[in-house]
Amino acid sequence: MIIDKFLDRLRPREKLGLLIAVLCIFALLADHLVVAAVVKKMRQIDDETKTAKKMLVYNIGVLERGVPKDYDGIGNVLEKSGSSGEIINEMKDEIYDIAHKTGVELPSMEGRDPVKKDFYEVYPVEIGKFDTTMENLINFLHALHTSPSMLIVSRLSISSSKESNQNKVTMLVTKLIMQTSPPPSLSAPPETKKQDKGISK
C-alpha cells in the first residue's frame, strides 16, 4: 500500500514525529468537539435558567396577589352585569385580545355552564390545545393574571417538544361573579325563639 511504502521510507525519528503530529491533530479535534458540546450545554442551561426565572417571577406575583386588597373598583368588576351568555362572550373576547397582543394563536375556546357557589358564581372558558413558545406563554399568562376583569387560570397543562421550541398547551380560564343579593342564610341572622317564663307568686 502507498501508506506502508511511505512509512518504510521514513526514519525512526521521522516516524515518531509523524506519530506525535497525528496525535496532536486528534487531540485538537477531540478538544474542539468536547468544547463545542460543553458550550452548547451551557447555553441550553442558561436558556432554561432564564425561563425558570421568568416562571418564578410570575409565580411570586400570583402568590403576592392572593386575595385582592384595596382593589379599586372591585365591586364593579365582580358584580354581575349581564346574562351568563354575555359574560362568557365578554371573557372570550378579552382572552382573544390578550392572546393576539402576546403572540399566541388560539384555535378554539368554549364557554361552560357557570358553577354556583354560596354567594358567587364561577364562569369557566375552556381553551383548546394550542402551540406556542415558552416566552409567549409566560407573557400570555401574565397578561391574563393582570387583566382588569381579574381572570383566573384555574387549570394549565403544558407538553414540551424536544424537536422544537413549541409547547402544546391547554387551559381553563375562570372568572368569579358575585351574586346581586346574598343568600338568605347570609343576609340576615337566624331568628331565635324566645321562651316565656312563668311568674311565680
pLDDT of residue 142: 92
Confidence band (pLDDT; 50, 70, 90) for 119?
Answer: confident
Confidence band (pLDDT; 50, 70, 90) for 155?
Answer: very high
pTM exceeding the 0.85 threshold for the entire prediction: no
Residue 200, φ and ψ in degrees, nearest 5: -90, 135
Confidence band (pLDDT; 50, 70, 90) for 91?
Answer: very high
What cell does 85 get? 351568555
| Least confident window among 1-10, 12-21, 98-107 | 1-10
Residue 104, φ and ψ in degrees, nearest 5: -110, 130
Section 11-33 average pLDDT: 70
Return the C-alpha torsion angle 84, 89, 94, 98, nearest 10. Answer: 120
What cell does 152 get? 383566573
Cα–Cα distance between 20 and 46 in angstroms, integer?
38
SS3 state at 90? helix
According to DSSP, residue 151 is labeled: -
Q: Kindly report the number of other CB atoms within 10 A of residue 178's CB atom.
A: 15
Section 93-102 average pLDDT: 94
Residue 154, φ and ψ in degrees, nearest 5: -85, -25
pLDDT of residue 55: 77
pLDDT digits (tens, 9 = 90+) for 37-57: 767 777 777 777 777 777 777
pLDDT at 161 exceeding the cut of 80: no
Cα–Cα distance between 62 and 79 in angstroms, integer?
22
Q: Is residue 128 a contact partner of residue 109, using CB atoms and an 8 Å limit? A: yes
pLDDT digits (tens, 9 = 90+) for 52-67: 777 777 766 665 555 4
pLDDT of residue 130: 94
